[in-house]
């Protein structure tokens, strides 16, 4: 495993940010520190050749990681538990939480979320709040499940039936393992393309933390898979993409009920235009 690194100015990041996110996805990390003019940009590469290709294009340096880098990083940088409303705690290790609050354990895995990223945290908090008002027996689709964290949370919040899909077989294996470790058994995990769904049933809730372009392309498909009074929770969207995604929602008969913003990211709650009325957006997650 290799890490490519570069110190970058804000102007360089502004020009390259979208392209880096599109190309490297969860292998990309951007570390910004208050008072520092430059941010540290890192890309995790499986091979030295891949790291050198990035270096030839963008400059920077390359570091070869030691074989036990993941174990060492997990031991040194375990994040604090994430509290989601009054009903859920997400942690990287099994530890007792307050009485009456469910804890799910999502161990740190390379390239898969444990809940600390802004987009995941915003989705989790929207999910916790929205599901308080759903009738018993509601169903959920988790499109692009990754570690399975949104699907697991949906089960904790009362979903009766959940389908979780990802095009990465390794992600599905990890998500299935996380579900078993947390004794959650009502999730059907599938390997597949979110843009080629094969669902006979309709869902009360569809959650997707994906690139903005994928979200926009999937809206016509999800419109057919969403129950009449169903809702969408969407994230993975940068602030400058907000207007475009809201327009795509409108074109497909949806309306944004709420928009939450955290740093450079946003998350949206949406529903069919005929079923819901838009409410003011919120700046805080």
Average pLDDT over residues 25-54: 82
For 93, residues 6+ apart whose C-beta sits below 8 A from its C-beta are 78, 105, 107
Residue 187 lies in a domain: yes
- Classify residue 145 by its DSSP letter: -
Residues forming a β-bridge with 265: 238, 262
Q: Are residues 28 and 146 in the same domain?
A: no
- Shared domain check, 266 and 155: yes
Sign of the CA dihedral running 176, 177, 178, 179: positive
CATH number at residue 267: 3.40.50.150
The verdict on 212 and 159 lying in the same domain is yes
On whether both 216 and 95 belong to a single domain, the answer is yes
Residue pLDDT, tens place only, 40-81: 888 988 899 999 999 999 999 998 877 765 555 555 555 677
Residue 217 has pLDDT above 90, yes or no: yes
Q: Are residues 111 and 159 in the same domain?
A: yes
Do 118 and 245 have their domain in common?
A: yes
Tokens (6 digits) for 255: 């309306």
Question: Is residue 111 a part of any domain in this protein?
Answer: yes
Phi then psi for 230, rounded to 5 degrees? -75, 170
Establish if 147 belongs to a structural domain. Answer: yes
Same domain membership, residue 151 and residue 42: no
**Residue 153 in tokens:** 């949370």
In the chain, the number of structural domains is 2
Q: Cβ(83)–Cβ(116) under 8 Å?
A: no
Closest CA to 190 of 232, 142, 139: 142
In the block, tokens 């949104």 appear at: 150
- Is residue 181 located within the same domain as residue 267? yes
Same domain, 107 and 243: yes
Per-residue pLDDT reduced to its tens digit, 138-176: 999 999 998 999 999 999 999 999 999 998 888 898 899
This prediction has a pTM of 0.69
Range of the domain at 127: 78-272
State whether 104 and 55 are in the same domain: no
Do residues 85 and 53 both lie within one domain? no
Residue 283, in any domain of the structure: no
Dump the DSSP string for 219-238. HHHHHHHEEEEEEEEEEEEE
Same domain flag for 96 and 61:
no
Question: How far is residue 206 from each of residues 30, 65, 150, measured CA to CA in Å?
Answer: 29, 38, 10
Q: Is residue 107 part of a domain?
A: yes
| 112-123 pLDDT, tens digit each | 555 668 899 999
Domain membership of residue 210 (yes or no) is yes
Q: 96 and 83 in contact (C-beta within 8 Å)? A: no
């Amino acid at each position: 495993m290799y890490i490519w690194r570069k110190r970058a100015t804000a102007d360089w990041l502004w020009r390259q940010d979208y392209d880096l996110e599109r190309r490297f996805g969860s292998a990309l990390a951007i570390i910004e520190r208050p008072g520092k003019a430059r941010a540290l940009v890192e890309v995790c590469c499986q091979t030295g050749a891949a790291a050198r290709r990035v270096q030839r294009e963008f400059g920077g340096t390359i570091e070869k990681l030691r074989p036990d880098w993941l174990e060492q990083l997990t031991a040194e940088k375990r994040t604090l538990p994430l509290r989601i409303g009054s009903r859920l705690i997400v942690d990287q290790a099994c530890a007792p939480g307050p009485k009456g609050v469910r804890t799910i354990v999502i161990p740190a895995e390379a390239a898969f979320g444990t809940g600390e990223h802004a987009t995941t945290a915003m989705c989790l908090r929207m999910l916790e709040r929205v599901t308080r008002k759903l009738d018993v027996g509601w169903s959920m689709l988790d499109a692009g499940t990754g570690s399975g964290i949104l699907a697991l949370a949906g089960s904790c919040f009362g979903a009766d039936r959940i389908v979780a899909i990802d095009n990465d077989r390794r992600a599905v294996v990890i998500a299935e393992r996380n579900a078993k470790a947390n004794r959650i058994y009502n999730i059907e995990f599938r390997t597949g393309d979110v843009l080629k769904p094969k669902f006979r049933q309709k869902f009360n809730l569809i959650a997707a933390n994906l690139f903005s372009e994928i979200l926009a392309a999937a809206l016509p498909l999800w419109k057919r898979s969403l129950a009449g009074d169903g809702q969408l929770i969407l994230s993975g969207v940068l602030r400058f993409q907000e207007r475009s995604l809201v327009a795509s929602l409108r074109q497909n008969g949806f309306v944004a009920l709420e928009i939450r913003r955290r740093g450079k990211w946003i998350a949206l709650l949406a529903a069919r235009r005929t079923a819901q009325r838009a409410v003011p957006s919120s700046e805080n997650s």
